[in-house]
Amino acid sequence: MPELVFFAGTMDCGKSTLALQIQHNRSARGLSGMIFTRNDRAGEGKLSSRLGLITEAIEAGEGFDFHAHLVKHLTAGGRADYVIADEAQFLAPEQVDQLACIVDDLGIDVFAFGITTDFRTRLFPGSQRLIELADRIESLQVESLCWCGARATHNARTVGGRMVVEGAQVVVGDVGTAEGEVGYEVLCRRHHRRRLTAAAARAGALSPDVLPVDGADTPLPSRP
């Protein structure tokens, strides 16, 4: 049976790499797919991974109708055995509904890839709708790590290494950006709550004063 599958994870956990791997495996078996993306780091109409892999894709911008596009393609004699939708967190809820209709009405597998929450730990509308509709939700097995070595569970937006918690939900950036630019960093929940990025931790280590947050959760020693 065809499925709508949502592959979810934090930034830097290999979502786009897996999307490209799925495309490679299926094309090697003679299957033909359609690849969509939105706001990819490599630019419009590209699906890229941080490993340097890249392929052409259809830019699914605001107002794009997935179902209508597939119907038009098939009616014109085209072929589509599967659909890949990367950066699915940026999709509008109605676009996710269209992906579900592709599965149900056209009998085509849809593989969607995206992060679940934004830099404020709030669900992206597209990811929320995917969680509501997907036949299957897969957590990416490649775990991103916080600077402290713990499993990263949250995405943080940074400016010059400092974490920010206000601003538009969608601002295109990437991990490891130059100082002063808008970037992103994956953190464990503990350090996301404390707004303690890698740069802030390094600054604290060089400071003669202990950061106030460092001991915030440390229990007091028990009295004999």
Residues forming the active site = 87
| Listed residue (52, 59, 133, 76) closest to 100, CA to CA | 133
Please check whether residue 13 is in contact with residue 142, taking contact to mean a CB–CB distance below 8 angstroms: yes
Burial status of residue 42 (CB atoms within 10 A of its CB: 0-12, 13-18, 19 or more): middle
Alpha-carbon span 87 to 131, nearest angstrom: 15
Q: Is the dihedral of CA 71, 115, 22, 54 positive or negative?
A: positive
